[in-house]
Amino acid sequence: MDATPTGPLRGVRVLDVTHAAAGPVATMFLGDLGADVIKVEPPAGELARFAEPFLAEDTERHYGGRFANRNRNKRAIALDLTDPSDRSVFLELVETADALVENMRAGVLDRLGVGWDVCRQRNPALVYVAIRGFGDPRTGESPYGDWPAYDVVAQAMGGVVAMTGPDPDHPLRAGPLLGDVVPGLHAALGLCAALLHARTTGVGQFLDVAMVDAVA
């Protein structure tokens, strides 16, 4: 099988510092469009690796089906971002990248020394996409800004559960992962627009994708 990337994003390099669903879904779409996506995982692996279902031959249960689906068309590297030497490798990758996508809680990568302010100094044309439950403090304060968020949180706080329940007193989560997939789509689309801007001007951008806003 020919592994040469094809598609409209061929030649675009994206660093994927994501976990769970919303972030990996965003970079999944970019990989499907031909981008060279490099997933950065901790040495022990992203937690989603260990979620069912597993192939029968996967006796170590370290490569679940959902993880495989969301991380198709990606390369990967294991880096401990608390280690100075691994952090140096990461920043070298930043210098070669067109974009970076992360969905950590606000401030996590900043505290590790690899957040937006550091990355844009290393690569002024970098498009940096941050997917947060309730947005990033850089673009506006939120009383929930430091909350972690997953699909059900986004659906509940965004009002989706009130639309799908049988009546106002019985909210119900929608079956599909709308709180993850819709923000992932917004992130991928916004990244493409910002990438065009960066190619035209040489200036990168910080993109803030709030999961709650995406489904509200």
Q: Where are the domains of the chain?
A: 13-215
pLDDT, tens digit, 9 for 90 and up, residues 100-126: 999 999 999 999 999 999 999 999 999
Which of 16, 36, 180, 213 is the catalytic position? 180
Active site residue 146: no
pTM over 0.75: yes
Yes or no: say if 205 and 197 are a contact pair by the CB < 8 Å rule. yes
- At CA 33, angle to CA 16 and CA 136, rounded to 5? 40
Residue 115 CA to residue 107 CA, distance in Å, equals 8
Three-state secondary structure of 201-215? HCCCCEEEEEHHHHH
| pLDDT beneath 70, residues of the chain | 1-3
pLDDT at 34 (0 to 100): 98
Q: How does pLDDT run across 19-46, given as a tens digit for each residue? A: 999 999 999 999 999 999 999 999 999 9
Domain 13-215: CATH superfamily, name plus number = Crotonobetainyl-coa:carnitine coa-transferase; domain 1 (3.40.50.10540)
Contacts (Cβ under 8 Å, ≥6 apart) of 134: 142, 144, 145, 147, 149, 157, 210, 211, 212
Q: What per-residue confidence (pLDDT) applies to 189?
A: 99
What is the structure's pLDDT at 117?
98
Task: Output the pLDDT for position 2.
Answer: 64
CA distance 96 to 106: 24
pLDDT number for residue 135:
97
pLDDT at 60: 83
Q: What local confidence, expressed as pLDDT, does residue 62 receive?
A: 80
CA 183, CA 41: separation in Å to the nearest integer?
A: 21
- 119, with CB counted inside 10 A (0-12, 13-18, 19+), is buried
